[in-house]
C-alpha cells in the first residue's frame, strides 16, 4: 500500500490510498495529514501478528481480531473486493463508495456498545471480512448485527467464524440477542444467523425481512474451548 495527501475541496487535507478514489481520512492541517499518512504507511508494511489464528473449513488460515481505528485503509481496499451484488446485500441498496464519515463510523469503536470483529489474510495483511453489532439504545440487551465477507472468501466458513466471535463479545457485554435486516431471498445470510441461535421472523414485507436471533443456550465454556482450539489451528471453523 502507498499513501499520499491532497487538499480537500471543503478545506483541510485528505490522506488517500494509491489506486483508490475514496479518501482514507481527513485532517485539518497538512502536518496532521502527513503524520497520519506516515503512520498508515508504517502500519501497512508490517505483517499482521496480533489476533486469533483460525483455520477455515477449506484449510485457509486467517487472523481474526477486533477492528481498530487505523484499519481505515483495509476498509477502503476491501470495499473494492466486493461485487455490486455483495454491496447491495450488505448495505441494502446501491453503495458506490465509502465516505470519510463511513470509515470513521466503521473503525472508531468503543468495543462495548459498538463492536466489529475483522479477519485478515495473515500473509498479505488484506482485510477479508467483518462482523459488527451496534447495541440498540431502547433495548440494551439487543443489538443490530451484520456480516460482510469479500467475494473471493465467501463460502469458506469465514462468516460463521466471525459471527461466533461477535456473539462471544456481545455476551460479555450483556447482549442476549441480535436483530438483523436482510433481503428475503438472502438465504445464505439467514442460514448464517441460524448457526448462532434461534431465528424468529419479526416482520416480512415485500423484499425485506426483519429477524430476531436469540443466542444459543449451549454451554458457553464449550464454545469458548472450541474457539480456543480453532485459534491454535487444531480444528477448522464451521
- Per-residue pLDDT tens over the stretch 182-214: 998 888 899 999 999 999 998 888 889 999 999
Indicate the SS3 state at residue 132. Answer: strand
Q: Angle at CA 99, nearest 5°, toward 94 and 103?
A: 110
Taking only the tens place, the pLDDT of each residue in 127-169 is 999 999 999 999 999 999 999 999 999 999 999 999 999 999 9
Q: Would you call 44 helix, strand, or coil by DSSP? A: helix
Which grid coordinates belong to 186? 438472502
What is residue 1's predicted lDDT score, i.e. its pLDDT?
86
Task: Name the pairing type of β-strands 114-120 and 61-66.
Answer: antiparallel
User: H or E element: which one contains 158?
Assistant: helix 158-172
Task: Tell me the average pLDDT across 104-123.
Answer: 96
Radius of gyration of the chain (CA): 18
Q: Judge contact between 107 and 71, C-beta under 8 A.
A: yes
How open is the CA angle 44-47-52, to the nearest 5 degrees? 115
pLDDT at 107 over 50: yes
- Yes or no: say if 140 and 112 are a contact pair by the CB < 8 Å rule: no
The per-residue pLDDT for 28 is 96
Residues 6+ apart with CB under 8 A from 91: none
H or E stretch at 193:
helix 187-194
Q: What is the mean pLDDT of residues 64-68?
A: 96
Give the residue from 63, 68, 35 showing the smallest Cα distance to 48: 63
From CA 115, how far away is CA 118, in angstroms rounded? Answer: 10
Q: What does the CA dihedral 158, 159, 164, 168 come to, rounded to 10 degrees?
A: 110
Give the pLDDT score at 203. Answer: 85
Query: What pLDDT was estimated at residue 3?
Result: 96
Residue 43 pLDDT grade (very low, low, confident, very high; cuts 50, 70, 90): confident
pLDDT higher than 60, residue 222: no
The answer to whether 172 touches 180, Cβ cutoff 8 Å, is no
Shortest CA distance to 68 belongs to which of 87, 43, 92? 43
Amino acid at each position: 500500500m502507498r499513501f499520499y495527501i491532497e487538499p480537500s475541496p471543503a478545506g483541510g487535507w485528505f490522506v488517500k490510498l494509491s489506486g483508490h478514489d475514496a479518501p482514507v481520512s481527513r485532517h485539518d492541517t497538512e502536518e496532521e495529514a502527513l503524520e497520519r499518512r506516515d503512520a498508515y504507511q508504517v502500519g501497512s508494511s508490517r505483517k499482521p501478528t496480533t489476533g486469533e489464528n483460525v483455520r477455515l473449513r477449506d484449510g485457509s488460515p486467517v487472523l481474526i481480531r477486533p477492528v481498530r481505528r487505523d484499519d481505515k485503509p483495509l476498509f477502503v481496499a476491501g470495499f473494492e473486493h466486493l461485487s455490486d451484488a455483495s454491496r447491495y446485500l450488505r448495505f441494502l441498496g446501491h453503495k458506490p463508495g465509502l465516505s470519510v464519515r463511513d470509515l470513521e463510523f466503521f473503525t472508531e469503536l468503543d468495543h462495548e456498545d459498538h463492536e466489529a470483529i475483522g479477519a485478515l489474510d495473515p500473509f498479505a495483511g488484506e482485510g477479508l471480512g467483518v462482523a459488527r453489532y451496534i447495541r440498540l439504545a431502547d433495548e440494551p440487551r439487543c443489538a443490530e448485527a451484520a456480516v460482510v465477507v469479500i467475494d473471493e472468501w465467501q463460502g469458506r466458513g469465514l462468516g460463521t467464524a466471525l459471527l461466533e466471535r461477535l456473539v462471544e463479545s456481545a455476551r460479555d457485554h450483556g447482549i442476549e440477542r441480535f436483530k438483523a435486516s436482510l433481503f428475503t431471498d438472502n438465504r445464505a445470510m439467514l442460514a448464517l444467523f441460524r448457526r448462532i441461535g434461534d431465528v424468529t421472523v419479526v416482520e416480512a414485507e415485500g423484499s425485506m425481512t426483519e429477524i430476531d436471533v436469540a443466542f444459543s443456550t449451549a454451554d458457553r465454556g464449550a464454545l469458548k474451548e472450541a474457539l480456543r482450539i480453532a485459534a491454535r489451528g487444531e480444528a477448522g471453523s464451521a
